[in-house]
Each structure stands twice: as C-alpha cells, then as structure tokens.
Amino acid sequence: MAADFSTRVRNLPTLGLGISTEFGAGAGGLDPLALRALRPDYVGFLEIGADLERGFDSAAEAWIASGAPTTYHFLDLNLEEPTSLDTASMRETAVRARRAGAAWLCGDAGLWHIGRRDRGHGILQPPILEPSSVDAMADSVRRLRDATGFEVLPENPPAHVYLGRMHLLDYFAALAERADTGLLVDLAHLAVYQRVMGHKPLEGFDRFPWDRVVEIHIAGGTPFRHAGRTFIDDDHGTTLLPELRDMMAAAFGAASNLRAVVCECERHPIPAVLPLFTSVKAAFDASAAVRGSSSETPSRAAPMATTSIEGDMLAPLQRTLFRCQMDPAFARRWRGGDAEARRGDGLSPSARDLLVAASAEGVGADNGGRRSAQVLGNVSLECSATVALAMDGGRDSGFVAEFVASPEFHGAVMADAALPPAFAAYATARTSGSDDAFLRAVAHLERALVEVRRMPDGTPPPAGTFGVSPAVAVVSVPEGTLDGWLAVLDALRAGKLSKLPRAASGVEDEYILLSKGGSSGAFAPPPGAAELLDPGTAALLRAAAIHPLSEEDIAALARDHEADPADVRGLVDSLVADGVLVYGGTP
C-alpha cells in the first residue's frame, strides 16, 4: 500500500529560500548562479519552469551542471483534464525532472493549453472552482505522481476571472484531501484572487490545511485599470502588494511542513531584486520560531457544494471562456444570450450560468493585451512570412489580431484542434482575394508546411505499390515563389522589416517538395523543409499522390514522358531511400 502524504512529506528535503526561472528569462534578467554566488542565503535552490517543447535554456543548464538543488515547475501539463495527461508526456516530464535533479514536481493547476497539445499557447486558465473539477484534478495528480515517482504539488493559478462557487482555498483544500497531496500556495496569486472576488486578504486562511503546504511563492504584481476596475498583472515584479506582508506572516507561521519558498522575479537584474529577497527572508526567518506550533486544530475547508456542474462540462466551459477572453465581440454576444453565438458550445444551463455570473470586466481584462499577443504570436509563428507580407507598410494591420474573430479560430477551439493550422487556414482565406499574387502563393506554401509538420503516420500503400510518404507533400505555386519566400525569411531573421523582398510571380508553376525536415522531438513540431523539384520528379510524385503506383504505372509514366524506364525506376528507388516514397512490400 502506498504511503500517505504525512509519511511521504518527511522524505522531502528542506530547500529554504530560492528563485525561479523559465525559458529565456535570463536574457537581460536574473543570472541565478551569479545571485547565488553573491547571496547564497537568498538562493538555496532554483525552480526551473520548463515545457517539453523547449526544454531547458542555457541558464537552467548551467545551474543543473553546478549540482545545486532544483525543483521542476511544469508549464504544459493540464491537470484539470486527465485525458490530456498521456503516458508519453508524463514519462518525458519525469526524465527531464530527474536530469535536473528535481526534489519534486509542481505547477499551476488548470490549463496551460486549450485543446490539443501544440506549440505553446501560454494560456494558463485557472480551474473551474466546482466539485467536479476537484475530482478531475485529483485523478490527474494521483496519476502524475504514480507515473513519475515524484511528489506533485499543484499550485493556485492567477487570473482576472474565476468561474465556480467554491472559494479558491476551499477548492485546493478539497484537492489535497482527494489526491492525498501536498500543495504549492502562491501568495501573490492568492492576493490577486482575493481582490478579484472582493474578499479580505486572509479570507479562508482559518479553514485551510496549512500542514499540506510544502512550497510557497512570493512575487510582485502591477495594478492596471480595465473597464473602470483595478486588476493585478502577475508580472513577477519586485514590488509586493501591501497585503502580502500579513499573508506571508500567516502562511509562513502556519505551514508546519513548509520546505521551500520561491521569490519569482526572474526577469529583473540582481540589484533590483535584492530588496525583495531581503523582505521575504525577514518574514520567513521571523516565522521560524512559531511555524506550525499553534495548539489550535485548524478547521477544515467549507463543505463542497452538494451539487456541481457535470464533469463533462468542464472542457466546453473552459473553451467558451477562452473564446470570450480572446474575442470581446463574441463575449458580448454570448453573454447577451445570442442564439448563434451560443450554438454548439455544448454547455448545460448550469454551466452557462457560471459564465454568465462571472465578471464581464474580468473576462475582458488583459493588461496591454499581453496575454492575447503571446497566444497570437505563438499560433502565427509558422506563418511569419505571410504575416509580414500582409502587414507590410500597414496594408493589413488587423491581419493577426482579427484571427480570434474568425470561424477558423472558434471552430478550432470548439473542436479541440491545434491552433497553428487554424491560423494557417485563416491566413490563406484572408489573402485569397488579394491582388498580390506573391502573398497568395506564400500563404498557400506556409499553410501546406504547417500541415506537413503535423502529418500523422499513415498506413502503407497496397503491396507491390509505391505511395507518397505522409511526411511529405508536393505543392504547386507560381514560378519564383520558393526563392522569394526564403528571401523574406532571411530578411525577417536579419530584422530588415522595412524593406521586405517581393518576388515577381512567374507565369509557369514550380513544384516544391515539403517535408518534416527531421525531428525536433516528440513534443515540438519538426522544423520543416522545402526544395524545388524538377518537372519529372514532380510529375511522378503528383501521380503517386493520386493513387499508389504499381510497376505498370511507373512504366506508363516513363512512356508518357518519353523517359528511359530504367531511369524512372532508379528515381523511384532513390525517392524510397530518401523517405519521399513508401513501398508497400512484396505482393
């Protein structure tokens, strides 16, 4: 029988005060090893924020090489959706956490991506604060713990709007009990929640099981105004909200199993963060004498609601919320009861009531559009030449932003489809009426490459025939498109945005072979590759794409093109060797 949390927690190391990082944070920001060398009392460990697509950056690799303590903070596991926790992603998370020497796993508990895992969206939706969500997340936490062998500490995420009837602390208290797990409490996130919901800073503290708290996060936040209300941007700044002083004192003193405290300020230089560390360390040290010493038995969480939205409503509710957050016009229609906007949302009346009851200001809050820009930047990345050409000189300034109002965006979210292919389809449709033939051709080319990168493994062709590999595609575009596209990409890489090259589209077509171009690992789209085909090879591949070629078909192609049959047969063998064609085996 597996040990319970009260036994497992005794085996967790005490790490003390530490810092966090995530991919790319060190560029112009905090150097973890330099701060550790300067103030080892401030930096006992590094919490590495990572996703499987990007892995560790150079700053994290340097820390790992030093052998200093770490924890692994996942940035891509959807704990509220057990079905998204596939065996491969859990296994690889464990591999990377072990390589980093992590003491445990932790991460914001909710949704890091909407729908199918793909190029990072940076969404981070909090969970629906309902009993059915507690049950789903408890299942995920147990499965992740069993699959990886690591203790898993779910963290309360930040947001400007929360759906559900449970208090956030009651939700995580119930989760701790159901999953028999420890917790990571982010006090900055909690302060944001208390403000959003109109609660006092310490609301719920007296009924929260602080003995379950293994790790605490502290960070600064920036107030901003939206629709007449003040919200807090969880930007990991260096200025703490005023209420965090009392929250730290209460939490540090009550958390009897506290092992680690993280100051999140990874994008600031060392001189700017020292005052923050000084104040957090002072609060942490002041609580040491009383930590967990209260003789009072903490009251347990408020009872969960006797009714809850159905578990199968969690996913469509999160997706409808995401659509509302990204597309304000849709949000107004949906909240106003517009039948067309609500068509196909899959929501029960009780699930709809939760979203209708949510703050309209909170749904639309996005400081400076940062969240939307991050999502849009990620999903449009593979169509960078199309975007640059379409927006060149301000010709179509809404090209990227208006994707979220498109049927391609809403359809993909509702269908749990990947968003980058949806953007590529949108870009092709938007440019189809342009009088710029080069722009239309580039949009077609980049869409095809987006699709090839995600092509699933296909079934072999019939025995005795040759079929086109599912890892490749042949596209026809006006002559000069490939060279022009590559020139635009070179200009973008060089930062030459003011004078993008524009190719003259020829009268004749050229044929381009698109392939996955190698592997970027199982959790990132492959890089993709494109090469110009000679007419004969293009004709052969186009024929094989229509139906697999038998030996008789190959001979007929040679006759039709007045080519030597031996040469054509040699070309087929070469294409098989290169993985462009696939042989179905001996009949």
For position 295, what pLDDT does the model report?
Answer: 45
Which segments of 122-261 does DSSP mark as H helices, in order? Answer: 131-148, 168-179, 187-197, 244-254
Extract the tokens encoding 85.
Answer: 């926790």
Distance CA 137, CA 148 (A): 16
User: What's the CA dihedral at 369, 372, 378, 384 to 10 degrees?
Assistant: -70
Distance CA 158, CA 323 (A): 18
The whole-model pTM stands at 0.93
Could you read off the pLDDT tens digit of each residue along the chain, which spans 587 residues?
A: 479 999 999 999 999 999 999 998 878 788 999 999 999 999 999 999 999 999 999 999 999 999 999 999 999 999 999 988 999 999 999 999 999 999 999 999 999 998 777 876 778 999 999 999 999 999 999 999 999 999 999 999 999 999 999 999 999 999 999 999 999 999 999 999 999 999 999 999 999 999 999 999 999 999 999 999 999 999 999 999 999 999 999 999 999 999 999 999 999 999 999 999 999 999 999 988 777 665 454 555 555 655 679 999 999 999 999 999 999 999 999 999 999 999 999 999 999 999 999 999 999 999 999 889 989 999 999 999 999 999 987 788 899 999 999 999 999 999 999 999 999 999 999 999 999 999 999 999 999 999 999 988 888 899 999 999 999 999 999 999 999 999 999 999 998 877 788 876 677 899 999 999 877 666 788 889 999 999 999 999 999 999 999 999 999 999 998 999 999 999 999 999 999 999 998 76
Are 76 and 52 in contact, with CB atoms under 8 Å apart? yes
For position 1, what pLDDT does the model report?
Answer: 46
* Residue 415 β-bridge partners: none
Extract the tokens encoding 528.
Answer: 């993709």
What the chain holds in terms of domains, given with CATH numbers, is: 5-287 (3.20.20.150), 380-583 (no CATH)
Cα separation of the two ends of the chain: 54
Are 169 and 213 in contact, with CB atoms under 8 Å apart? no
For position 89, what pLDDT does the model report?
Answer: 94
For position 502, what pLDDT does the model report?
Answer: 81
Distance CA 155, CA 174 (A): 13
Question: In which residue are the tokens 């026809």 written?
Answer: 476
For position 290, what pLDDT does the model report?
Answer: 77
Extract the tokens encoding 26.
Answer: 């060190």
Q: Which of 479, 478, 477, 503 is nearest to 490 (CA)?
A: 503
